[in-house]
């Protein structure tokens, strides 16, 4: 199935022309980054917490300390919401009203469950690590039994999702084009700086191959 | 008061050494960007939606279409959560377990209310515009009556807040420092590209002064 069914939960209400329910487009956005914002509630109070994730097929994986409140709450299996946003540009118009931003965002819905099997947990941690820097998992020491126990890992099958995308320049009111105001787009993106080793890298060990494949590089 | 009181709502549970309740630090993070993720719920389903904001003193302002469901829900005055995250670096360790990211994040709590007075709405829209590009408001045509009516503007006094910050390099297990694995930090940040005008800028109109003060530039 190439699209997520349109339901009250994933329907984009505002500016539906910007919306997409296409699985390939949604997963394409998810695979551009590794930072999401997960929403959950505790006794009626909503919390929004940033965390990293990995995607494989129709599942999102998140992890953290075994003591994490966020993961404990998400693992209770209520309908969670996980949102990923890529900021692509500032859109400057001739009027304040028509200023905007270019972006690609995805909103995911599903019920998360905690993984308990050590092999399943390790496989999910590999997916998260590979989301950040493809190839990194094979370069480093994998998790031991103690580390796996200290780590909570959640799997959230993506039940429902939508994407919302704005591209292009400002659209001003026709009469405003006579104003002597600069209007256009300033592109923005995540950019990586120069890698700095931690001062204890062994002689002869160079930058890892995974870095050349890392998101943002 | 220089710090937000520590309460069950804003208490950072995981890695409390990374937490801060200091107002200056929290506002310093808020003033580095203009993108937040707002959390609200509709009939038990949590939604996390990206939007832009502006801060002045102890209040966050958000805006959108008068038809926005997010703004309507937030304006109901329940306890909302608004989160801002700056990603600062990828932290590569010698073991999968000790990989991390450097970041600064802020979680804000408060009750939002919709502004109704046109003057108050316009002032809030100025704060949001100035958050994106300081000085832009004076360069452009301000909102007219019709535009103000079409725009919902929320004010959320910041009742409670916390910041969480990770900096520095990886911290590996002592025995892993003998591994021939590169470890260190790859800094990342939002970066702006070359501004592109929309093809209808009047002759002689150059790049605006506000752009040189814009976030990410």
Q: In this predicted model, what pLDDT tens digit does every residue of A182-200 receive, in sequence order?
A: 999 999 999 999 999 999 9
**What backbone torsions phi and psi does residue B127 show, to the nearest 5 degrees?**
-65, -40
What is the structure's pLDDT at A1?
A: 58
What residue ranges of chain A have pLDDT lower than 70?
1, 216-217
pLDDT of residue B216: 62
Joined together, the tokens standing for residue B47 give: 């939604």
Residue B3 has pLDDT above 90, yes or no: yes
Residue A158 CB coordination number (10 Å): 20
Q: What is the pLDDT of residues B41-63, one digit of tens each?
A: 888 889 999 999 999 999 999 99
For residues B145 and A86, what is the distance between their CA atoms, to the nearest angstrom?
A: 32
Judged against a pLDDT cut of 70, whether residue B66 lies above it is answered with yes
User: Are B182 and A197 within 8 A, CB to CB?
Assistant: yes
Pick A85's closest partner by Cβ from B35, B65, B109.
B35
- Chain B within 8 Å of A146 (Cβ-Cβ)? no
**CB spacing of B187 vs A178 below 8 angstroms:** no
Helix count and strand count (H, E) for chain B: 5, 11
B147/A95 touch (CB, cutoff 8 Å), yes or no: yes
Interface size between A and B, measured as CB pairs under 8 A: 287
Fold of B16-185: Pnp Oxidase; Chain A (2.30.110)
Is residue B123 less than 8 Å (CB to CB) from chain A? Answer: no
Question: Is the minimum CB–CB distance between A195 and chain B shorter than 8 Å?
Answer: yes
Q: Domain A16-169+205-213 sits in which CATH superfamily?
A: Electron Transport, Fmn-binding Protein; Chain A (2.30.110.10)
Q: Which chain B residues are closer than 8 Å to A44 by Cβ?
A: 78-79
Q: Check if the interface score ipTM surpasses 0.90.
A: yes
- Name every residue whose Cβ is closer than 8 Å to that of residue A149 and which is 6 or more positions away in sequence: A66
* CB pair distance less than 8 Å for B176 and A141: yes
Tell whether pTM > 0.90: yes
Using the Cβ of B71 and the Cβ atoms of chain A, whether some distance falls under 8 Å is answered with no
Distance from the Cα of B5 to chain A's closest Cα (Å) equals: 18
Q: How far apart are the first and last CA of chain B?
A: 32
- Domain residue ranges of chain A, discontinuous segments joined by +: 16-169+205-213
């Amino acid at each position: 199935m190439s699209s997520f069914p349109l339901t009250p939960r994933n329907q984009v209400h505002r500016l539906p022309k910007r919306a997409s329910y296409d699985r390939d487009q949604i997963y394409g956005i998810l695979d551009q980054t590794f930072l999401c914002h997960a929403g959950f509630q505790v006794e009626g109070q909503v919390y929004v917490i940033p965390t990293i994730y990995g995607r494989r097929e129709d599942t999102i994986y998140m992890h953290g300390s075994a003591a994490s409140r966020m993961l404990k709450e998400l693992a209770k299996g209520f309908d969670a919401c996980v949102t990923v946003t890529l900021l692509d540009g500032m859109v400057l118009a001739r009027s304040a009203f028509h200023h905007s931003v270019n972006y690609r965002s995805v909103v995911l819905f599903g019920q998360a469950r905690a993984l308990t099997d050590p092999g399943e947990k390790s496989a999910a941690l590999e997916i998260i690590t590979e989301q950040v820097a493809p190839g990194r998992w094979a370069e480093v020491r994998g998790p031991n039994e103690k580390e796996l126990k200290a780590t909570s890992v959640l799997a959230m099958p993506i039940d429902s999702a939508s994407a919302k995308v704005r591209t292009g320049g400002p659209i001003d009111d026709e009469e405003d084009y006579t104003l002597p105001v600069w209007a256009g787009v300033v592109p923005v993106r995540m950019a990586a700086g120069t890698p700095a080793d931690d001062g204890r890298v062994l002689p002869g060990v160079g930058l890892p191959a995974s870095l050349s494949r890392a998101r943002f590089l």
